[in-house]
Amino acid sequence: MTKAYEFLKSHKMTAEDVNMKEVVNAFLSEMAKGLAGQESSLLMLPTYIEADGEVKANDPVVAIDAGGTNFRAAKVYFDDNLKLVTENIQKGKMPGVDEELSKADFFDTLAGYMSDYKKVSDKLGFCFSYAAEIFPNKDGKLLEWSKEIKAPEVIGRMIGKELLAAMGTPEKQLVLMNDTVSTLLAGKAARAIKTYDTYIGFILGTGTNTSYIEANCNITKTDGLNMEGSQIINIESGAFTLAPRTDIDLAFDNTTKNPGRYAFEKMFSGGYFGGLCTEALKTAAKAGVFAEPSAFENMEELSTEQVNNYVHGIEAAKSVLPGVFTHESDKLIAAEIIDGLIERAAKLVAANLAAVILQTGKAKLHEKPVLMTIEGTTFYKLHNFRTLFENYLNDFLSGENKRYYEIVEVENSSLLGAAIAAIVN
């Protein structure tokens, strides 16, 4: 048993300390409570967006993507062959990342980004990657920020209405959706030639979230739905609170802007994983795990990119971690601690998606799997993450839980999905 493993085990931070069946069952229970309007860490937000609308050719819309750190907009349409055409993509920094903004400053910044698109179309599809309650008119009210965005006056405001007012175009139609909803729609469109039993959208980048298609008859908290229909549900899975958190998870959580909120994503998403690793390494140093513990005393919080480069063996010019070690043994211990946390992360994410697959009640036949459209650099780039994730997921989805799935990545999925939603809804 290595020093790194002993340390992680002493703090119950190994993948072995995650009972996947218990996490899956807890996730399913929270989903059921959220759909029924009972107290739950999973908001289970109805989107009023169906996944079955038909795409129309030569119907230009404005697609908008407000992600973790970036804002993008583009003119989007489908040509005569229903091939996606994207023109005039513009990018900017998401307001509220670097400094706290007032409501007026926040929406004025977004409106400034949109100045070139006022005459493109009267239809806008807005992929908004934050928790918002969606209304039947498909606008949404911001419930809370995640990913460290600092614009508190925006909370409780109708995002589409405020943006259109700031643009001076209140008459336009805007469909607001989460990035996982956009991702789900983009995957469905990209794989239209094959039949799938159902669809899931999953993001693991700066933050994390999941969406899936739920039968309206199961959404008992919402009145007036067509009981024969279905719609996409935005789970807000990053807010799940029943995963097994440790003393190190809690200590790191207390250093973030909103302690206690979005606890699940703070265990593995890209906006937080580097900070969690930093907390673990410093705790290990204080416990005497390293030969030279003083090297960690004044170390600044590492980014996810830095810790990932380290375990990949990439000593990037701006990376802090390689330079703190003078003992070869310490280098290996640090890498093993980070890799151990990556494996735990993979098991937690596998539990998240296993629960959602089971909730659909579908994908029991090999010829009709669930299509999971997955986006985010953390999922695809974190050291060994996808391999570990699929190992845990496949192991769980066997026996009585046997389900079939495929994974697809779609370029510009947030913009594509936003465009599809604007065209078909």
Instruction: Read off the pLDDT band of 316 (50, 70, 90).
Output: low
What contacts 112, CB < 8 A, 6 or more positions away? none
Q: Find which of 151-155, 221-225, 323-327, 341-345 is predicted with most confidence, using mean pLDDT.
A: 341-345
For residue 360, the model assigns a pLDDT of 98
The amino acid that residue 366 corresponds to is H
Mean pLDDT over residues 356-367, rounded?
Answer: 97
Rounded Cα gap, residues 161 and 171, in angstroms: 10
Q: Is the pLDDT of residue 305 over 80?
A: yes
Q: Judge contact between 94 and 72, C-beta under 8 A.
A: no
Query: Pick the residue with more confidence: 20 or 83?
Result: 20
Q: Is the pLDDT of residue 162 over 70?
A: yes
For residue 157, the model assigns a pLDDT of 96
Q: What confidence tens digit (pLDDT) does each residue in 35-89 have?
A: 999 999 999 999 999 887 777 788 899 999 987 678 999 999 888 887 778 888 8
Q: Is the pLDDT of residue 378 over 80?
A: yes
In the predicted model, what is the mean pLDDT of the chain?
A: 92
For residue 52, the model assigns a pLDDT of 79
For residue 86, the model assigns a pLDDT of 87
Give one word for 399, left, alpha or beta, with left for phi > 0 and alpha for psi -120 to 50.
left
Mean pLDDT over residues 190-209, rounded?
Answer: 92
Q: Is the pLDDT of residue 318 over 70?
A: no
Is the dihedral angle over the CA atoms 243, 245, 250, 253 positive or is it negative?
negative
For residue 258, the model assigns a pLDDT of 86
Helix (H) or strand (E) holding 307: helix 304-312
Percent of the chain having pLDDT more than 90? Answer: 72
For residue 314, the model assigns a pLDDT of 75
For residue 244, the model assigns a pLDDT of 97
Q: Choose the weakest-confidence range: 126-130, 156-160, 190-194, 402-406.
A: 190-194
Cβ atoms within 10 Å of 127's Cβ, excluding its own: 29
Q: Judge contact between 371 and 187, C-beta under 8 A.
A: yes
Q: What confidence tens digit (pLDDT) does each residue in 247-293 have?
A: 999 999 999 988 999 999 999 999 999 999 999 999 999 999 999 88
Rounded Cα gap, residues 19 and 347, in angstroms: 9
What contacts 226, CB < 8 A, 6 or more positions away? 216
Q: Choose the weakest-confidence range: 18-22, 140-144, 247-251, 339-343.
A: 140-144
In 3D, which of 394, 251, 275, 424 has the Cα closest to residue 341? 275
The structure's pTM equals 0.88
For residue 129, the model assigns a pLDDT of 83
The 10 Å CB-count burial string (b at 16+, else e) for 352-368 is bbbbbbbbbebbeeeee
In 3D, which of 241, 250, 177 has the Cα closest to residue 42? 241
Q: Choose the weakest-confidence range: 30-34, 140-144, 361-365, 370-374.
A: 140-144
Q: What confidence tens digit (pLDDT) does each residue in 238-260 have?
A: 999 999 999 999 999 999 988 99
For residue 248, the model assigns a pLDDT of 98
The amino acid that residue 51 corresponds to is A
Rounded Cα gap, residues 283 and 31, in angstroms: 34
Instruction: Read off the pLDDT band of 317 (50, 70, 90).
Output: low
Mean pLDDT over residues 373-386, rounded?
Answer: 97
Q: Is the pLDDT of residue 375 over 80?
A: yes
